């Protein structure tokens, strides 16, 4: 991340003062100081956002969200403090921006013609489409003429704007707008049967379907539209110029692509059957093995280890592949011997061995890889082999990417299937697309498992940070005697 150093900061201040002077020289009434000058003089960037998985939320390690991370980077780029004000409703954000309470809105806003009339937008950093959502089991609507029931969207949203446009050619289209519920809550209303339909952005829907696989897409309400930050529409170009520089640098350096991968890379595809099967397995199978995952997880979140085990064996302790790997963590015989595991079909031994091997791979990954991403490299190595992952890092560097960023290496791994690339590597051919899907699946399972656990704690009024309850498996009495390897 490039931070504006003192010479550049002085340059921006001088530029801001020059712009202000030019405005003062005009015959019009004297304009206030330009926005960038005000931000630099104040020493803080005031940003409005909204609570959402796609924008801003409080994670286990503090504030998170794609828009939040970008806003923090922009504040650092300017050399000022970030002051962020999250809201639950779009209806609160736009009036505050117009009154000057915020310098900008970083709230996952779709750029629409109506919004352009009132606000200015920074360069786009995403694109989303709008989807008509209904509950599985109900008749699928394939266009607006098929809608037969209640339709509700957020007030002040791009969805409401789009429906108003559609109503011009579909005069019978009816819907209601709410400022009391956000998009996630409207999706839950559809699931509960209180609403027949709502409209959701494609990225938000992808995140929600990890937990609610019965959310179905009827049809596309609006094709892809840009997503960008909004700020007041004035003749002041100072903040806009800084935003153009910032987003240009973030795009060129791959930061935006890596943030998209971090938040959305693992949810670009959806498998209804797999998601439903996993949620059922959390209830029916996981309780038996949870104590061992917790015991042997070490520095990892036990739920991440559990998600990895599900990807390996679907929590079947007797799983065996055609290549001879066996058990919950699907260990090879050679790996098991090295780890001191004498019975791969014993659940506790398999989990202990898998956890130990993952820790070893994690520790062997180059220290230049950020700790937050190193686990994805280690898991890919668990699947395809450490040498092939290191080869993919070298390919990434040759292609001009960042070998320490999972998003870039993820794009290079499938090239290990192509002779033009694997012939240049130390370890040769590999089915490099498989570790990509492997890691994506684990990330989805992990997110879903964390959400399920959080819901259970909330239902039991357990304070965050308290010991997590062991799930109870219904109608199961599994044998405690493990088969011999």
The answer to whether residue 385 scores a pLDDT higher than 70 is: yes
- The pLDDT tens digits of the residues spanning 439-476 come to 999 999 999 999 898 888 777 665 545 555 554 433 33
Averaged over 289-303, what is the pLDDT? 96
**To 5 degrees, how large is the angle CA 451–CA 454–CA 456?**
110
The span from the CA of 243 to the CA of 246, in Å, is: 5
The tokens for 424 are 């240049």
Q: What is the DSSP string of 282-333?
A: HHHTHHHHHHHHHHH-TTS-HHHHHHHHHHHHTT-TT-B-TTS-BTTTTB-H
Pick the CATH number of 127-226 from 1.10.10.10, 3.20.20.100, 3.40.190.10, 3.40.50.2000: 3.40.190.10
The span from the CA of 103 to the CA of 472, in Å, is: 50
The answer to whether residue 477 scores a pLDDT higher than 70 is: no
In three-state secondary structure terms, 342 is coil
Q: How far is CA 450 from the centre of its chain?
A: 14
The answer to whether residue 30 scores a pLDDT higher than 60 is: no
CB atoms within 10 A of CB 7: 8
* Cβ within 8 Å of residue 461, ≥6 positions away: none
The answer to whether residue 45 scores a pLDDT higher than 90 is: yes
Helix (H) or strand (E) holding 386: helix 386-398
**pLDDT computed for residue 463 by the predictor:** 52
**pLDDT computed for residue 479 by the predictor:** 35
Asked if residues 373 and 402 have their Cβ atoms less than 8 Å apart, the reply is no
The tokens for 449 are 């498992």
Burial 163-175 (b: 16+ CB within 10 A, else e): beeeeeeeeeeeb
Q: How many CA atoms lie within 13 A of 186 on its CB side?
A: 30
Range 272-459 classified under CATH 1.10.530.10: yes
Of the listed ranges 8-22, 213-227, 319-333, the one predicted with least confidence: 8-22
Averaged over 423-450, what is the pLDDT? 93
CATH superfamily of 6-123+228-265: Periplasmic binding protein-like II (3.40.190.10)
More confident residue, 289 or 235: 289
Which residues are designated catalytic?
Answer: 312
Domains 6-123+228-265 and 127-226 share a fold: yes
Domain boundaries, the chain: 6-123+228-265, 127-226, 272-459
Helix (H) or strand (E) holding 398: helix 386-398
Say which DSSP state 344 is in: T
Q: Report residue 346's pLDDT band, with 50, 70 and 90 as the boundaries.
A: very high
Of the listed ranges 269-273, 415-419, 476-480, the one predicted with least confidence: 476-480
Residue pointed to by tokens 């789009």: 162
For β-strands 152-154 and 176-178, DSSP reports them as parallel
pTM > 0.85: yes or no: no
The span from the CA of 275 to the CA of 270, in Å, is: 8
Helices (H), 101-151: 113-118
Q: Report residue 223's pLDDT band, with 50, 70 and 90 as the boundaries.
A: very high
Helix (H) or strand (E) holding 98: helix 90-98
Q: Report residue 308's pLDDT band, with 50, 70 and 90 as the boundaries.
A: very high
Helices (H), 230-271: 238-252, 255-264
Q: At what angle do helices 347-364 and 371-384 cross, to 10 degrees?
A: 120
Q: At what angle do helices 286-296 and 272-284 cross, to 10 degrees?
A: 80
Nearest alpha-carbon partner for 51 in 125, 128, 107, 126: 107
Averaged over 162-191, what is the pLDDT? 94
In three-state secondary structure terms, 432 is coil
The span from the CA of 50 to the CA of 14, in Å, is: 34
Averaged over 407-423, what is the pLDDT? 93
Q: Report residue 22's pLDDT band, with 50, 70 and 90 as the boundaries.
A: low
Query: Percent of the chain having pLDDT more than 70?
Result: 88
**pLDDT computed for residue 462 by the predictor:** 55
Asked if residues 141 and 132 have their Cβ atoms less than 8 Å apart, the reply is yes
- Give residue 98's region: left, alpha or beta (phi > 0; psi -120 to 50): alpha
State the chain's mean pLDDT as an integer. Answer: 87
In three-state secondary structure terms, 119 is strand
**pLDDT computed for residue 322 by the predictor:** 81
């Amino acid at each position: 991340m490039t931070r504006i150093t003192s010479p550049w900061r002085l340059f921006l201040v001088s530029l801001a003062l020059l712009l202000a002077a030019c405005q003062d020289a005009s015959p019009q009434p004297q304009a206030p100081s330009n926005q960038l000058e005000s931000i630099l003089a104040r020493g803080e960037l005031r940003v409005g956002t909204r609570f959402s998985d796609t924008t801003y939320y409080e994670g286990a390690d503090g504030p998170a969200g794609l828009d939040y991370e970008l806003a923090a980077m922009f504040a650092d780029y300017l050399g000022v403090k970030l002051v962020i004000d999250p809201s639950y409703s779009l209806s609160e954000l736009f009036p505050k921006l117009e009154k000057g309470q915020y310098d900008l809105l970083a709230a996952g806003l779709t750029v629409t013609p109506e919004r352009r009339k009132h606000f200015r937008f920074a360069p786009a950093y995403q694109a989303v489409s709008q989807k008509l959502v209904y509950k599985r089991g109900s008749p699928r609507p394939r266009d607006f003429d098929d809608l037969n029931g209640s339709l509700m969207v957020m007030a002040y949203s791009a969805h409401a704007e789009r429906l108003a446009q559609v109503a011009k050619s579909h005069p019978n289209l009816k819907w209601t707008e709410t400022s009391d519920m956000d998009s996630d809550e409207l999706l839950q209303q559809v699931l509960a049967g209180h609403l027949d339909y709502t409209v959701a952005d494609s990225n938000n829907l992808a995140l929600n379907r990890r937990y609610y696989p019965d959310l179905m897409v009827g049809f596309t309400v609006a094709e892809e539209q840009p997503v960008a930050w909004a700020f007041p529409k004035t003749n002041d170009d100072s903040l806009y110029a800084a935003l153009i520089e910032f987003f240009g640098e973030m795009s060129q350096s791959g930061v935006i692509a890596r943030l998209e991968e971090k938040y959305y890379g693992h949810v670009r595809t959806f498998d209804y059957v797999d998601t439903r099967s996993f949620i059922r397995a959390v209830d029916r199978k996981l309780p038996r093995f949870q104590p061992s995952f917790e015991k042997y997880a070490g520095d990892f979140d036990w739920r991440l280890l559990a998600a990895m085990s599900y990807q390996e064996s679907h929590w079947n302790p007797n799983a065996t592949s055609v290549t001879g790997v066996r058990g919950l963590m699907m260990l090879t015989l050679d790996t098991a011997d090295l780890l001191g595991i004498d019975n791969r079909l014993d659940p506790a031994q398999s989990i202990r061995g898998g956890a130990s091997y993952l820790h070893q791979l994690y520790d062997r990954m180059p220290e230049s890889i950020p700790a937050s991403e190193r686990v994805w490299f280690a898991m890919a190595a668990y699947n395809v082999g450490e040498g092939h992952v290191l080869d993919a890092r070298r390919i990434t560097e040759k292609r001009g990417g960042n070998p320490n960023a999972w998003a870039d290496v993820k794009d290079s791994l499938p090239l290990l299937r192509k002779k033009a690339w694997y012939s240049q590597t130390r370890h040769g051919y590999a089915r490099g697309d498989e570790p990509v899907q492997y890691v994506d699946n684990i990330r989805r399972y992990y997110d879903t498992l964390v959400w399920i656990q959080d819901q259970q704690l909330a239902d039991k009024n357990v304070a965050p940070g308290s010991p997590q309850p062991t799930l109870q498996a219904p109608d199961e009495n599994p044998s405690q005697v493990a088969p011999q390897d």
